[in-house]
Amino acid sequence: MKESRRTRAFEEYMQNRYGSENVGGSSSSPSANPNLRKQMTRSFSVREGAQLPSKGIDSYMFSSKRKSIKNLFAHEKVKDVGKAISKWFIYNAIPFHAADSGPSCQAMINTIADVGPGVQGPSGRQIGGVFLEEEVEDITIYLNTLKSKWPKYGCTIMCDGWSTRNKHPIINFMIYCDRNMIFHSSMDCTNKRKTADFILSLLNNVIDDIGEENVVHVVTDSESANKVAEQKLMIERPHMFWSPCAAHCIDLMLEDIGKMTKVKRCIDKAKQITSFIYNSDKIVNLMKIYTNDRELLRPGITRFATEFISLESLVRYCQDLKRLCTSVEWHEYNNTSKRRKDVEKITAIILDTKFWKSARDICTAMEPLVKVLKLVDQDNKPTLSIIYEAMDRAKLSIKESVKD
């Protein structure tokens, strides 16, 4: 066994020295190279007590063992690092996805590894003091670098309105320039009417702060007040132009489709099914047995596309829901005074073939628009260059699906 290990190690050594094409290959033999034949002869003479070259097999075997042992310990150390960092996340209630939020986490690990063992971490006072001030200075330098591009490339002001969890209306203003976007300001519009003049005054304040000569484009949603405000803005500042948010426009299209009588009736029935199921924990747990422990996506209140997604989810689990409502447990769990009135109605909807046919037709017709909405409502790449082609494809798909 010892002789066999030395022979294999010697062959690896010769491959690294003379190339794999001259050692152990099918196209050539050791006798094709005189030097290789000489080394091979000397290698087999170990049995007679001959000596190998000073930097031959023994040194190669030692380096090979050292590399394998080093890799083994390196793997264990990496595991120890991951375990230590995970403990810090777990016992300080830090969200796990914070480790994937950006390059700062890996940069921290690399810096600690470069410094070596024994490094003392900063205290909370230091983090909130000197290091926070230095980070603010670094961010300020970075922002000044981006601002220096505004006169050269021009910038776009993006206006985004949304509501907090406490239902406070907020308007955020972002600035986009040369594939970089930064936050400018936020306005709390609680107890304030979002009229065209009010929105125009906010935009004028942002434009004056940035510099009128640096702004070429303004993007807002398609609300009526925003449309009027932007028309006035383009009259006051002729060199600027306004365009609506593509994602909001598609969302309004889906909302208009949802107001159609046939579509609205079908979606209302889908809401009744999901509401009835999720109003009882027993029914939810029973449903998961039939849907392989999967949830039904319920409609949200922000985007109409969520209602389509919920309807599509119902269609996906159509057969599972039918088995659910025909089971013995379904009637037992719903045999209460509060739910007995509605169970027959919900069961009739689930077993109605016309309802499922209508739901499938609506999903088929609306799916192309939802795909375009997902395409434009993402930050991975610019979508202005492909939005027109995507909409043309969506129109053709919708026309094909509703031709009957």
pLDDT at 17 over 60: no
Same domain, 168 and 262: no
Percent of the chain with pLDDT over 90: 5
In a domain, 160, yes or no: yes
Same domain, 73 and 195: no
Segment 379-396 mean pLDDT: 77
Same domain, 373 and 321: yes
Segment 360-370 mean pLDDT: 86
pLDDT at 43 over 70: no
Supply the DSSP symbol for 214: G
Kindly tell me the burial class for residue 77, based on how many C-beta atoms sit within 10 Å of its own C-beta (0-12, 13-18, 19 or more): exposed
Same domain, 87 and 201: no
Distance (Å, whole) CA 227 – CA 2 = 85
pLDDT at 21 over 50: no
For the stretch 174-184, what's the b/e string if a residue is b when 16 or more beta carbons lie within 10 angstroms of its beta carbon?
bbebeeeeeee
Show Cβ contacts of residue 252 under 8 Å, excluding neighbours closer than 6 positions.
222
Range with the lowest mean pLDDT among 8-22, 55-69, 259-273? 55-69
Segment 34-57 mean pLDDT: 46
Structure confidence at residue 2 as a pLDDT band (50, 70, 90):
low
Same domain, 200 and 307: no
In a domain, 131, yes or no: no
Structure confidence at residue 298 as a pLDDT band (50, 70, 90):
low
pLDDT at 3: 56
More confident residue, 213 or 59: 213
* Helix, strand or coil, per DSSP, at residue 170: strand
Supply the DSSP symbol for 168: -
Supply the DSSP symbol for 117: T
pLDDT at 26: 41
Same domain, 281 and 382: yes
Check: CB of residue 232 under 8 Å from CB of residue 170: no
pLDDT at 32 over 50: no
In a domain, 42, yes or no: yes
pLDDT at 81: 80
pLDDT at 112: 83
Structure confidence at residue 38 as a pLDDT band (50, 70, 90):
very low
Structure confidence at residue 313 as a pLDDT band (50, 70, 90):
confident
Segment 316-328 mean pLDDT: 90
Segments forming the whole domain that contains residue 202: 150-244
With CA atoms as reference, report the closest residue to 164 among 184, 129, 134, 188.
188
Residues for the chain: how many in total? 404
pLDDT at 299 over 80: no
* Helix, strand or coil, per DSSP, at residue 377: coil
More confident residue, 7 or 121: 121
pLDDT at 301: 41
In a domain, 202, yes or no: yes
Chain mean pLDDT for the chain: 78
In a domain, 134, yes or no: no
272, 286, 326, 327 from 332: Cα distances, Å: 20, 11, 11, 9
pLDDT at 331 over 60: yes
> Which strands sit side by side in the sheet containing 215-220, from one edge to the other?
180-188, 169-177, 155-163, 215-220, 241-244
The first and second tokens of residue 260, run together, are 């159609």
Segment 256-273 mean pLDDT: 88
Q: Which tens digits make up the pLDDT trace of 153-178?
A: 888 888 887 777 777 888 889 898 88
pLDDT at 393: 86
**Residues 103, 107, 108, 114, Cα dihedral to 10°:** 170
Same domain, 49 and 68: no
pLDDT at 228 over 80: yes
User: What's the pTM?
Assistant: 0.58
Same domain, 274 and 395: yes
In a domain, 124, yes or no: no
- Our count of domains for the chain comes to 4
Measure CA of the first residue to CA of the last residue in the chain; give whole Å: 79
pLDDT at 45: 43
Angle between helix axes 353-376 and 246-258 (nearest 10 degrees) is: 170
Same domain, 71 and 18: no
Same domain, 208 and 258: no
The first and second tokens of residue 114, run together, are 């470069």
Show Cβ contacts of residue 389 under 8 Å, excluding neighbours closer than 6 positions.
none
In the Cβ-directed half-sphere of 357, how many Cα atoms lie within 13 Å? 3
- Please count the helices (runs of H) and the strands (runs of E) in the chain: 18, 5
* Helix, strand or coil, per DSSP, at residue 106: helix
Same domain, 259 and 372: yes
Same domain, 165 and 215: yes
Distance (Å, whole) CA 238 – CA 220 = 18
pLDDT at 351 over 50: yes
Which amino acid, residue 308? F
Distance (Å, whole) CA 295 – CA 314 = 10
Kindly tell me the burial class for residue 136, based on how many C-beta atoms sit within 10 Å of its own C-beta (0-12, 13-18, 19 or more): exposed
pLDDT at 278 over 70: yes
In the Cβ-directed half-sphere of 389, how many Cα atoms lie within 13 Å? 4
In a domain, 139, yes or no: no
Region of 222 please: left (phi>0), alpha (psi -120 to 50) or beta.
Answer: alpha
In a domain, 136, yes or no: no
pLDDT at 23: 45
Which amino acid, residue 59? S
